[in-house]
Structure 1
Amino acid sequence: MSGLPTVKVGDPLILVTNNRFLGDEPVTVARVGRTYLYVAGSDGCERRERYDRKTGIEDGQIGLKAHLLAQEQYDDRAQRATLFNQLYDAGIEVQFRVRGDLTTDQLRALLAVVEKGEH
């Protein structure tokens, strides 16, 4: 992740909770400070958690921390997961330690080469 783009009050973001029971939640930016930003849920009430302004990672939580993503980042993340699954189905398992080094365009190109070789 390259972090959050410049955000301002009212911008929509996606809150990734890493909780399979809660799921991901659309939120809007409620306040922007020098170091942290605060979001409001779908009900319009500001949440008490604060998030790092540069990275979008929740501050103060122990364990799996929630993080904020812009819609483009969220879509890219979902597409990467799909590409890794398609590569796995084609017989190529990308190790976890190198997944972060590969860009989405590189994954698309690799999948295109593999699919072209199958035909």
Structure 2
Amino acid sequence: MKPFAFEDLPNILGTLVMRVESIERMVKQIRDNKPPEDFDPGLMTILEASKLVNLSVATIYSKVCRKEMPANKKGKKLYFIRSELLEWIKSGRIKTMSEMQREADQRFNK
């Protein structure tokens, strides 16, 4: 980025104002547009699911094929429900030693 001269400031400021106004118009358009009635914010594509669970698309396809991961298929496309993916992640939780000890104590005390 080259240094600007004092004489360039009016042009730079004018450009910045125009860009900010353009951004404000875009934000207003996005804010005013309502999602379609059948839009489900919990429904995700495979790319969105990939980002959520931090796995590659290929790994997700493999896990769905082996029925290791919850998914919905419509035609040739896979869809995922956010809450189901979060539950799937939580189901793989590894217990701590103290939790396992508590469970063992509860079983022996019964």
Which has the larger strand fraction?
Answer: 1
Q: TM bucket by the smaller chain?
A: under 0.3
TM-score by length of structure 2 reads 0.24
The structure that has the greater radius of gyration is 2
